[in-house]
Amino acid sequence: MLAAAFLFLLIFARFFYLQVIGGDRLRRLALDQWTREVPVVAARGLITDRNGAVLAENRTAYSVFVRPNAVKEKQRTAAVLSQLLGEDRAALYERISSSRVSELTVARHVGRELVLALEEQDLPGVYYAEDGVRVYPRGEMLSRVIGFTSVDNVGLTGLEKYYDGYLAGTDGEIAYFTDLVGAEVGGGATYVPAEDGLTLELTIDGEIQAVAEAAMQALYLEYSPVTAQVIVLDPQTFEVLAMAEAPSYDLNDVPRDDSALLNALSRNNLVSDIYEPGSTFKIVTAAANIEEYFRGNPAAFSPQHVFDGSRTRTVDGTTIRCWSDHKNGKHAGQTLAEALNNSCNPCFTDIALALGTETFYEYLSAFGFGKGTGIDFSGEAQGMLLPEGAVRLCDLARIGFGQTVAVTAVQLACAAASAVNGGSYMRPRLVRRLLSSDGRIEEEFPSVLVGRTVSERTSRLLAQLLEGVVANGSGSRAYIEGYKVAGKTGTAQKFENGALAQGKYVSSFLGFFPSDDPRYLALVIVDEPVGAYYGSVVAAPGARGSFEGIIKVKGIGPVE
């Protein structure tokens, strides 16, 4: 009796497991054997700018499927599909006659007219389902940031890839009851609705993006560089307002057949590439010096200190020269303000050496160099910064004026924004929030404070000094009458194969306005311009063009 009771207990336990614990899974498996499914494709989420302007959307199209075992007249079906789809009849017949697959796709992204024609033919075993074709109403706008999808609407590059899990949604299905060979039988159908993807609302301002792209296109046409690019930040929140690069490409006409061209055009160089910044990096060196001076470090130079006016410095047997020949009294007896105006390398060599490797590297770390910013974009580079223990004095001297260090554009823009916004280093971002298809806010991405770099006192003084660079110094071509524009120029000779590349330069300008309450910051980078190469000549006008466009579209009045 005990043995019998034990056996019955085992049987009832098995029943309980099959019917209660494993019941749902077994019912799904059974349903999968009894039915054939037609997918209900979820609509991919939209991508909009911060003002709601649509940058990526969907066009309704259809996919056509055939279930060979359910086709009753294979010759007729092949003939009709061949005529409607423009496909080879014999090849279609061979595919339809195959018993090796339960279902095959014969057409993707066809129009409603073709689907209506199919319905008129009443072909058993032929089905269709709605899908979507990704389209980009603004064409080339923000092409290297938005990215594109595959023919199956899977994100391949850019934000389409980074946020694919949110954009894709979840497909549904219509399940039809079939017999063992896949032929449809009675019993109706089961409908599982699709869940549409979420809308990405970007930090990008479409109006600012448009003027930034126009400014870079003008530089590209004038100087024929490899690229002309700009990133525009809100220096208070580190929201990216624009990322523009010329040349660009139309997201509706992606060159998928030319992989080399596609890789070059789709790469977001502002995030993924590094370069030697040159004199724009002096903003960081100046900020570190001022902060240390206010903290009472005796090694730091006061704003009134007059630097040695000689053209060269010799460090560890290495001679460092100023770009100017220092003739006729040029660059003689300079204060920090004048050193910034003149972009005099030896002065910033003196600052780096005076602060020392340990202190200077503390600031480099606080300003985010040698590590990613955390921007919401795939493939961010970390830059190149020598390990502190491996830095020689000649290396430290060169880092002080932007050599022997490599940065990304977004890294440098964030560092400069922190230096002039009061010392707050925020995490940069491209997406503000996620919305449902009916406009409900599903998730928001607020500004995140990463750390502090310098004091507000240092920021205010540095901004004043950089305003002087535009008003009286090398950044004069970024000057806009009536507006407090500040900034710093940069010119760096490129390295190739471990040596300086003759005649190849990166020209740049990092500027912001208004200087006393920064709201817009732009970093312009022109790679290998032809005919001129100084940042003051090539890049500064690009920043001025971007700022003038912002002033116009935002209706910003001059300072009274």
The three-state DSSP-derived secondary structure of 126-166 is EEEEEEEEEECCCCCCCHHHHCCECCCCCECCHHHHHCHHH
Show Cβ contacts of residue 106 under 8 Å, excluding neighbours closer than 6 positions. 64, 65, 66, 81, 85, 87, 92, 95
* 362 in Cβ contact with 391 (< 8 Å): no
The mean pLDDT of 401-430, rounded to a whole number, is 97
Give me the pLDDT at residue 17, please: 81
For 531, other C-beta atoms within 10 Å of its C-beta total 9
User: Nearest 5°: CA angle at 433, between 415 and 270?
Assistant: 35
Helix or strand (DSSP H, E) at 356: helix 345-366
State the Cα–Cα distance between residues 383 and 162, nearest whole angstrom.
21
Give me the pLDDT at residue 541, please: 96
Give me the pLDDT at residue 86, please: 84
β-pair partners for 172: 40
Give me the pLDDT at residue 101, please: 72
Give me the pLDDT at residue 81, please: 87
Give me the pLDDT at residue 48, please: 97
Greater model confidence, 26 or 474:
474
**62 falls in which pLDDT band (50, 70, 90)?**
confident
Please give the share of the chain, as a percent, with pLDDT higher than 90.
Answer: 64
Asked whether the predicted pLDDT for residue 21 surpasses 90, the reply is no
Please give the share of the chain, as a percent, with pLDDT higher than 70.
Answer: 94
CA nearest neighbour of 243 among 404, 380, 441, 405: 380
Asked whether the predicted pLDDT for residue 372 surpasses 60, the reply is yes
E-strand stretches of 275-414: 312-315, 318-321
Q: Which of 28-37, 145-154, 276-285, 290-299 has the lowest mean pLDDT?
A: 28-37
**218 falls in which pLDDT band (50, 70, 90)?**
very high
State the Cα–Cα distance between residues 109 and 63, nearest whole angstrom.
6
Give me the pLDDT at residue 189, please: 65
Give me the pLDDT at residue 110, please: 86
CA nearest neighbour of 162 among 456, 378, 326: 378
Greater model confidence, 180 or 360:
360
State the Cα–Cα distance between residues 472 and 479, nearest whole angstrom.
9
For 560, other C-beta atoms within 10 Å of its C-beta total 4
The mean pLDDT of 222-237, rounded to a whole number, is 97
The mean pLDDT of 523-531, rounded to a whole number, is 96
The 10s digit of each residue's pLDDT in 336-349 is 999 999 999 999 99
Asked whether the predicted pLDDT for residue 128 surpasses 70, the reply is yes
Q: Which of 99-113, 189-203, 422-436 has the lowest mean pLDDT?
A: 99-113
* 343 in Cβ contact with 509 (< 8 Å): no
Right CATH number for 206-554 from 3.40.1190.20, 3.40.710.10, 3.40.50.280, 3.40.630.30? 3.40.710.10
The encoded tokens of residue 259 equal 């992989």
In the chain, the N- to C-terminal Cα span, in Å, equals 102
Q: Where are the domains of the chain?
A: 59-87+94-132, 206-554
**37 falls in which pLDDT band (50, 70, 90)?**
low
**459 falls in which pLDDT band (50, 70, 90)?**
very high
For 303, other C-beta atoms within 10 Å of its C-beta total 16
Greater model confidence, 153 or 481:
481
State the Cα–Cα distance between residues 521 and 515, nearest whole angstrom.
10
State the Cα–Cα distance between residues 203 and 401, nearest whole angstrom.
32
The encoded tokens of residue 404 equal 């022997």
* 507 in Cβ contact with 534 (< 8 Å): yes
Whether omega for the bond prior to residue 247 falls within 30 degrees of 0, making it cis, is yes
The 10s digit of each residue's pLDDT in 407-421 is 999 999 999 999 999
- In terms of pTM, does the model score above 0.95? no
State the Cα–Cα distance between residues 303 and 428, nearest whole angstrom.
31
Greater model confidence, 114 or 215:
215
State the Cα–Cα distance between residues 111 and 350, nearest whole angstrom.
69
The 10s digit of each residue's pLDDT in 467-496 is 999 999 999 999 999 999 999 999 998 877
Give me the pLDDT at residue 131, please: 78
The mean pLDDT of 9-37, rounded to a whole number, is 74
Q: Are strands 227-233 and 520-527 parallel, antiparallel or unpaired?
A: antiparallel
Full 3-state SS string of 494-507: EEECCEEEEEEEEE
* 34 in Cβ contact with 177 (< 8 Å): yes
Asked whether the predicted pLDDT for residue 506 surpasses 80, the reply is yes
State the Cα–Cα distance between residues 161 and 145, nearest whole angstrom.
10
Give me the pLDDT at residue 138, please: 95
Amino acid at 68: P
61 sits in the region (left: phi over 0; alpha: psi -120 to 50; else beta) called beta
* 506 in Cβ contact with 534 (< 8 Å): no
User: Nearest 5°: CA angle at 558, between 552 and 559?
Assistant: 150
State the Cα–Cα distance between residues 462 and 454, nearest whole angstrom.
10
In this chain, the answer to whether the domains covering 59-87+94-132 and 206-554 adopt an identical fold is no
Asked whether the predicted pLDDT for residue 120 surpasses 80, the reply is yes
Asked whether the predicted pLDDT for residue 327 surpasses 70, the reply is yes
Mean pLDDT of the chain: 90
Asked whether the predicted pLDDT for residue 406 surpasses 60, the reply is yes
Give me the pLDDT at residue 362, please: 98
**132 falls in which pLDDT band (50, 70, 90)?**
confident
Give me the pLDDT at residue 182, please: 53
Show Cβ contacts of residue 539 under 8 Å, excluding neighbours closer than 6 positions. 219, 489, 490, 507, 508, 509, 524, 525, 526
Q: Looking at the annotation, which residues are catalytic?
A: 279
The mean pLDDT of 77-81, rounded to a whole number, is 87
**99 falls in which pLDDT band (50, 70, 90)?**
low
Residue range 59-87+94-132 in CATH 2.60.40.10? no
State the Cα–Cα distance between residues 430 and 465, nearest whole angstrom.
30
